[in-house]
Structure 1
Amino acid sequence: MNTRVPVTLIAGFLGSGKTTLINTLLQGEHGLNITVLVNDFGAVNIDADLILKREREVVELSNGCVCCSIQSDLVAQLQALFRSGNSPEYLLIEASGVSQPGRIASVFGYPQLRNYARLDAVVTLLDAENTDMLSDNCQQLVQAQIAAADIAVLTKTDLVDVQRVGDFRERWLFPDLPSYEARDGHVPLQYLLDTGLHDPSSTALLQSNPAAGFYSQSWSSQKPFCYARFKSALGALPASVFRAKGVLYCIDFPDTRIVFQKVGSRLEFRHDGPWRGTPETRLVIIGEDGLD
């Protein structure tokens, strides 16, 4: 009997819906003690009533799940996790939107990990609405993410017509690659967890830098902003900025935390309840060229 911890790697370009999918999996009726490693813990919008305890790098959830942020040395962090007295029953890893997931997949072949865990599947998310509008550099990265995939999940298919979805599948997906469509992050759990689809000998590796040409900048302020002016500023960002996210401390709603997202030309703002701590605007911007 294989007692190694199964691992699912969630990959996909920036804004493809990884956070939404992970939140759905966290709150699913699976009965598993799941640990989730994420690149940016603050990006995972976990419902407040699910949180039991929040520490600097770990959040304990009421359904037995735990969320941690990925540190610089993934292998060392995984070793510590699997050798702890509370090893997970299942592990989800969110890959960076500008990473090649084959590089992460390859670490599960390392001697110090292969006795503890097995990579069950690499799940790559594809944004059916925005992928075709990415630059050549970004599309090459998306192709590398697909090459490493054991399962493809098409997101935002409800925002485009059926013919366009069909054309997208034909142009982007390999014919023998299992694929599903997600609506608001919902894909049946049995299609994504404990599938046994990953073949270690097929792990796709690239020698080039997977994040070449990309940049990320963060900024924060405890000064409240005008909602309309902030929204206008985000909308005026150049096309080279294809992802922005964060929380807004707003003059118009000073007691409410506003979560915002920008993917391509689409902006989304939502009220996220009262502030938990000191009100502060926090912004992360990701693109291809430098930005002042």
Structure 2
Amino acid sequence: MYSATKTSNNSNSSNLIGIHGYNLVGCWDRIHCEKAFKIASEIGYSLVEVPVIDPLFDTQATKQLADKYGLRLSCSVGLSQDTDISSLDESTRKQGEQVLMTAVERAHAIGSPIVCGVIYSKLGKYSRAATQQNVNNSVEILRRVAQKAQSLGVQLGLEVCNKYETNLINTAGDAMKMIQRIGMPNVVVHLDAYHMNIDENDPIAAIDECQSRLGYFHIGESHRGYLGTGNISLRSILRALARIEYSGPLVFESFSNEIVSPFVTEALAIWRNQWEDGEQVAKHALAFIQSEWFAAHKSKTTPLLWGNEEKA
């Protein structure tokens, strides 16, 4: 059984180990914000990913409470049907651009160096493939948002997401092409083990493909439950990240409809819960990541193939 310790969180590398705020609370008013920070800090996390799109979000309270509990912050956004910047509808695109501009401003206000997530389309299933115009619309707006973000010292992270939650960026290769088209140095790739397990032919090759622009990583299981209990070779993924000397955050993401809002439940199809106690699954996740990340650094020079689970 894994056992987490505060002192070893970052003893093996410069990586911050974090947790998504919605793993612990269902909204982001002051009370829930403090609850999430208190739990995360007590468990031993160094970073909390904050859902800046929450209408109850309070930048001043979030920053003050993060300082109080000694936590670093990152920010994430998921666009909706009404704020889809790839849409052919101009008013929808304008609303989406405003959401992203606001997210960048909020990230800067709370000291987050990044806004990541599905920021290029709606978070949800499409009934058709993306057209070139959809891609062009997204690129045009993301370029403007990236320019604004750069002026504030903030990065944009394009989360590579599975085919059931977007039709625009499903692989690391898609993200790299989008970054090239946007043409801004502060746009990075945001990979997620859960999504990679669905759409990447070879997750290890995907990590290699985008290593020069990889800025953020979500650690999640195939069923979004307890780490190590699904079918993803998380050990292989962490070893691949160690081998390329990835220095960005490692953030645990797992959701239960016992906690998250109906919007998140519906957008992510959380119909079957893998857990009910967010604190318990968070403790297990931190211990798992610490242990496997330490082992990954010990064995990072060993030749690696997807699914190679041999112990160092």
Specify the structure having the higher radius of gyration (Cα).
1
Looking at secondary structure, tell me which structure has more strand per residue: 1
> TM above 0.5, one fold?
no
User: TM-score with structure 2 length normalisation?
Assistant: 0.32
More helix by share: 2
